[in-house]
Chain A
Amino acid sequence: MRLALGIALLVFVAAVVQVTVLTGARLLWAEPDLLLVTIVCVALVAGSVPGAVAGFAGGLLIDVMTLGTLGVTSIVLTLAGYWAGRYGETTGRGRRFAPVIATFAISLLAGIGGVALHFLLDQPVSARVAFVTALPSAIVAAALALGVQRIARASISEPPRLERARQVELV
């Protein structure tokens, strides 16, 4: 319960700040994507399923607040949360710079995926701008990840690992 509440609060605050404060802000010629960073950090701390759910909810919040096409941001952030969670559960477990690496890679992929999705929906989107700002956006996101990861760790407790053995057989 504490996990769910913590994640919900983090995602909600990140979504509101993203839409209200960070829209149009420029850092290294790129708009910081705080929600994506939060989703990735939550997923790294809590796991792939909570990450995917957080991504879906965060994306839905963004689409609702911006009155955009519902579900577009949700798809991208759901997959981002899931992949980040899987990375945290497997290769990235215990690695110090896992949040930075994961955020950088997922930010790049999410940017490209978002453009592709908008393109598929025949919505006006500048691929040139998206590709030009992809790298700066990923760098900014990676820089934000260290701070957000600490907040996420402090806000939500780590769930028990699913892979841990639940019974011991005596041979």
Chain B
Amino acid sequence: MPRNRTARTAVLGVSVRRPADGKLPTRTTAALRRRLVVGGLVLLSLVLVTLSYREDGDGPVAGAQNVAAAGLRPFQIAADRVAKPFRDAYGWSSSLLDARSDAARLEKENELLRQQVAERQLALRENVRLRKLLAYRNGPRFPEGYDGLAAAVLSRPAGAYAQAIVIAAGRNDGVRVDDPVVTQDGLVGRVSRAGSRTAQVTLLTDDSSAASALDVETQAFGIVRSGDGPRAPLRLDRVPKEANVRFGDTIVTSGWSSPRLSSLYPRGIRIGRVTSVGLTDTDLYTQVQVKPFADLNALEAVVVLIPSDRGATFP
């Protein structure tokens, strides 16, 4: 069979020859034309890309592009004006749909922010408090021969009959029973129980507490004990009648010592201010009521005074 038969004639088995004019079949021509068109367009695109990329904004191609863009601008403006009401309506409806979820999200965000603000305020207050403690520890009023150990207050007095707090420092930090505890404002109490990491501090307002004290102005001695109630938390006992203690006098620890015994508290720690002085003919001593400088109901951090020879360090 001749090699130049068409497919149809091959199937039919008829020896009809192809036309001898050399033309390609229609199908092949169409495919070739199709590929040429696509190839040409892609090539043209690549040429445009190259020219546009090389010119970088100033050249004939960019100029032509600008002119064409200006020519198309009215159509864009018209389309924009036509679409604007629809776009506005879409935006309004979508914002309405989103409003609910936005409200819930903003509420959560608001809650989180409130919490952060509260935490920051607490941190700020703590910062101020610790700075005061540090200033007190480094200041001239800090008793000599002692190191200060700052400790956070873990629990406060639960009621009128429990005048003790728990602090976040214990034996591992060098704290021992009977160590004085102060704030930058004044005396707080003493360590009554020391655990490994925590310690219990009995406040001055507890019935079992007592501290020898003196009036800075009159040099009158006495013993500070718990008072009769919230309005008079402390009282200064054993003040002789002849001592001229007055309203507003400052009471500090006397810090006595003898060869065998010494006061638990070092000398000169501020205790409180005299709020009332009573004197009757039948009393043996002057009745002096004292308001402590340290706010014993709102303690958040304290300093434990540790004798320097024990080797504790300030954190």
Interface residues of A (CB under 8 A from B): 12, 16-17, 19-21, 25, 48-49, 52-53, 55-56, 59-61, 63-65, 67, 69-72, 74-75, 78-79, 82, 121, 162-163, 166, 169, 171
Asked whether A53 lies within 8 Å of B87 as measured between CB atoms, the reply is: no
A16 touches B30 (CB 8 A): no
Report how far A132 CA is from B44 CA in the complex, Å.
31
CB neighbours of A163 from chain B (8 A): 27, 30
Q: Mark B58-83, 1 if CB is under 8 A from A, else 0.
A: 00010001101100100110011001
Does B52 sit at the interface, judged by CB under 8 A? Answer: yes
The answer to the question of B313 belonging to the interface, with a C-beta cut-off of 8 Å to chain A, is no
Cβ contact of B53, chosen from A48, A74, A121, cutoff 8 A: A121
Query: With contacts A17-B79, A71-B44, A78-B45 known, what are 11 further pairs, Cβ within 8 A?
Result: A20-B79, A20-B80, A21-B83, A49-B34, A65-B72, A67-B69, A70-B51, A70-B61, A70-B65, A72-B45, A75-B46
A49 touching B37, Cβ below 8 Å: yes
Set of chain B residues within 8 Å of A55, measured between Cβ atoms: 41
Q: Which of B6-63 contact A (CB under 8 A)?
A: 8, 12, 14, 16, 26-27, 30, 33-34, 37-38, 41-42, 44-53, 61
Question: Given A64-B65, A69-B49, A70-B65, A21 and B8 touching (CB < 8 A)?
Answer: no
Q: B44 to nearest A CB, angstroms?
A: 7
Instruction: Say yes or no: B41 contacts A21, CB within 8 Å.
Output: no
Which B residues fall within an 8 A CB radius of A?
8, 12, 14, 16, 26-27, 30, 33-34, 37-38, 41-42, 44-53, 61, 65-66, 68-69, 72, 75-76, 79-80, 83, 86-87, 90
Q: Is the interface of A mostly helix, strand, loop or mixed?
A: helix
Q: Would A74 and B69 count as touching, CB distance under 8 A?
A: no
Point out the residues of chain B lying under 8 angstroms from A72, CB to CB: 45, 49
Contact residues in B for A64 (Cβ distance below 8 Å): 65, 68-69, 72
Does A16 contact B45, Cβ atoms closer than 8 Å? no
Q: In the complex, A65 Cα to B83 Cα: how many Å?
A: 17
CA distance A69 to B65 in the complex (A): 10
Q: How far is the CA of A79 from the CA of B42 in the complex (A)?
A: 8
28 contacts between A and B (CB under 8 A): A16-B72, A16-B79, A20-B80, A20-B83, A21-B80, A21-B86, A21-B87, A49-B38, A60-B48, A61-B72, A63-B48, A63-B52, A64-B68, A64-B69, A67-B65, A69-B49, A70-B49, A71-B45, A71-B46, A74-B44, A74-B45, A75-B42, A75-B49, A79-B38, A82-B38, A162-B26, A171-B12, A171-B16
Tell me if B34 and A48 are in contact (CB < 8 A).
Answer: yes
B225 CB to nearest A CB, Å: 74
**Which B residues are in CB contact (< 8 Å) with A162?**
26-27, 30
Set of chain A residues within 8 Å of B72, measured between Cβ atoms = 16, 61, 64-65
Q: Which residues of B contact A79 (CB under 8 A)?
A: 38, 42
Residues of A within 8 A of B38 (CB): 48-49, 52, 78-79, 82
